[in-house]
Structure 1
Amino acid sequence: MKGHFVAYVARFSNGAILEGAHLPSFGTPTEQLRLETLALPPANPLQMRVAMTVAPVNPSDLIPITGAYSHRIQLPAVAGYEGVGRVIHAPETHAELIGRRVLPLRGTGTWQSYVDCDPDLAVPAPDTIGDLVAARAYINPLAALTMLDTFPVAGKRVLLSGAGSACAELLGRWAQEQGAAKIQGIYRSDSRVKRLIACGIEPISMNDIQAVTAAAREADLAFDALGGPVGSIVIDAMLDGTVFIAYGLLSGQSIRPSGTPRASYRRFHLRDYLATMPPGTWQRQFLRLWQALLHADPPPVQAFAVENWKSAVEQALRPGAAKPMLCFGCAG
């Protein structure tokens, strides 16, 4: 499928310009993305325009570029799903947000210095939440909150795969607060072990197949972010009456059970829940999230000027590395 992803950087000058990276076709992000400059169009009077401050580089940003979800992506498309910036234009109905920080979500991609979005879906960021937390408040926190609403964990034994990921960490932290009886996490990088223990998650190496199998046999609920061989081992070992929730594909491979699973298989895609969610409910979910994130201790980040997007992507692909954040308007 031909087309391109873009990660634009726009600047106002004598003539407004918009520069960024484009993807000629699906493939390896570091090989396909290119930096380019385009004209910045006039603001749509019915939309909100946001000058971006920072945007994270998540696995969920990179996996679609590889073509894993090519059936639902029409190229050209702008890369990036979340971030934070300040409103520089808004319709009269939302004029009070001009100058305020918002998350410009569910519109064009966020790897661009100016994002146009539906004003009803732009989420105001409270002053009590800093940029580096606000920029990461959508994909992982909202997914974790929605999964725990959908699959209650009180009194249950919970197993997390890809436990070093941001979403799994939130699942573990919040499952503990919601009364889960036991929380175990399958990790890929030894660098995550200390943090998992601090979060109340019992760490299990993905290379210890015996321990992974034993944990899966004990689990009531498994939240799987990996897929592939580890996810397959987990669902094979789970018992009758248990639930396996597949919500990620960090391995880049689907699960392949050896037979008919005894666990109930459930697929979770946040986009499926958002498709029927009215704007009012959407905004109320973030009011819950802001409260939950107020005292959050998110993993450390490393900022990259957007011109250095390739280094940011390479860092995102290294297990155990600090979360890369694209910085708009910063030097270096």
Structure 2
Amino acid sequence: MENTALCYRQFGEPESVLQQETAIKAPLQPGNLRVQMLVAPVNASDLIPITGAYRHRITLPAIAGYEGVGRVIAAPDSAASLLGQRVLPLRGEGTWQQYVDCPASMAIPVPDTVATPLAARGFINPMAAWLMLSLYPVQGKQVLLTAAGSDCGILLGQWALRQGATAVYGIHRSAIHAERLRGMGITPVVQQDIDSVRAIAATSDLAFDATGGELAQTILGAMDKRAAFICYGLLSGQPFTLQRHFPPMHWFHIRNHFEALNPQAWQAAFREIWPLLAASQYSDARLLPFTDWQSALAHYRQAGRTCKPVLAFE
């Protein structure tokens, strides 16, 4: 079986180092499923590792992509019921390829009620939001978000309100996000309005930050020492410096929590996530052919976009 994949053999900017390669797929290993991919989104979490930011845990050459949805075309006897079903082929190979092999116990069945473009985005951002809100309860607290227009940001905001947050403020850069956030119950805050950012940070109990850099520094400097600051990304590409008078700072990396989720807990988490995701407002998907992956990356880079670029394999 021939398989076409987006590979990288060195670290660098994805547009420069990704290559489309076709090779014979290795035989399916015992206990694994083989999944024919339907669609796979483009996320920051897909692109940042290609730059070498996590080179200590990546062996080259590598296939890009961490999530997506496909249809099972081969399965062991123990998972024969999944044949022909849509699944998320997670925690196995990179998903930016035509055929993905993954452990049968880690594949997540997709409910019939969830559309394929939405299901393809059912892992990275929903799981991150679900885990963070489990680790840092928001009931009765004021919450502040950065990168509030991002997929993870809008889920964090909506789910925090469902869990009893008294208010959620969302910092955004592009004006296009303001009405969208307000429609979700999230109060928009313009990132360039530093006085407003400081004032809201001073009264917030929890901040979930995806940007780092100067914005994180500003928020930390304004927050009460009894508050908590959770950093789950550095989209700005810039670090920030901690000071003694700052509130407690917690690093969140989704990968660090996988080992605590055995197959049963892994499947149970998605049974909670699917109905939450289906009941939430989420970014629309813009489908682009897998062979036109350069256009998908260019669309991802557009400032103020409200659609998620998704690679379509059919």
Q: Match of 1:126, SS?
A: coil
Residue 149 of structure 2: which of 151, 164, 184 is its match?
A: 164
8 Å Cα contact 2:65/2:96 also seen in 1: yes
1:261 deviates by 4.2
Q: Match of 1:253, SS?
A: coil
2:270 corresponding residue in structure 1: 286
1:71 deviates by 2.1
CA offsets 1:47-68 (integer angstroms, 9 cap, x no match): 1100000000011111111112
Amino acid at match of 1:307: T
8 Å Cα contact 1:231/1:255 also seen in 2: yes
Task: After TM superposition, list the pairs within 5 Å mapping 1:1-332 onto structure 2.
Answer: 16-257=1-242, 259-321=243-305, 322-329=307-314
1-side partners of 2:110 and 2:200: how far apart?
39
1-side partners of 2:279 and 2:218: how far apart?
35
1:319 deviates by 2.6
1:271 deviates by 0.9
2-side partners of 1:276 and 1:145: how far apart?
15
Taking structure 1 as the reference length, what is the TM-score of the superposition? Answer: 0.91
8 Å Cα contact 1:188/1:319 also seen in 2: no
Amino acid at match of 1:104: P
Q: Match of 1:155, SS?
A: coil
2-side partners of 1:142 and 1:198: how far apart?
23
8 Å Cα contact 1:235/1:261 also seen in 2: no
Percent identity among equivalent residues?
47
Query: Where does structure 1 lack aligned partners over 5 or more consecutive residues?
Result: 1-15
2-side partners of 1:125 and 1:241: how far apart?
41
Of the structure 1 ranges 149-158 and 296-305, higher mean CA displacement relative to structure 2 is found in 296-305
Runs of 4+ displaced beyond 4 Å = none
8 Å Cα contact 2:283/2:308 also seen in 1: yes
1:328 deviates by 0.4
8 Å Cα contact 2:289/2:311 also seen in 1: yes
1:214 deviates by 1.2
Amino acid at match of 1:239: D
8 Å Cα contact 2:207/2:229 also seen in 1: yes
Q: Match of 1:172, SS?
A: helix
Query: Where does structure 2 lack aligned partners over 5 or more consecutive residues?
Result: none
Q: Match of 2:104, SS?
A: coil
CA offsets 1:11-61 (integer angstroms, 9 cap, x no match): xxxxx3222333232111111112221122222232110000000001111
8 Å Cα contact 1:229/1:256 also seen in 2: no
2-side partners of 1:84 and 1:100: how far apart?
10
2-side partners of 1:253 and 1:115: how far apart?
34
Q: Match of 1:168, SS?
A: helix
Count of aligned pairs: 313
8 Å Cα contact 2:75/2:104 also seen in 1: yes
Q: Match of 1:137, SS?
A: coil
8 Å Cα contact 1:216/1:234 also seen in 2: yes
Amino acid at match of 2:211: L
Q: Match of 1:20, SS?
A: strand
CA offsets 1:177-200 (integer angstroms, 9 cap, x no match): 111111101112221111111111
Q: Match of 1:302, SS?
A: strand
Amino acid at match of 1:292: L
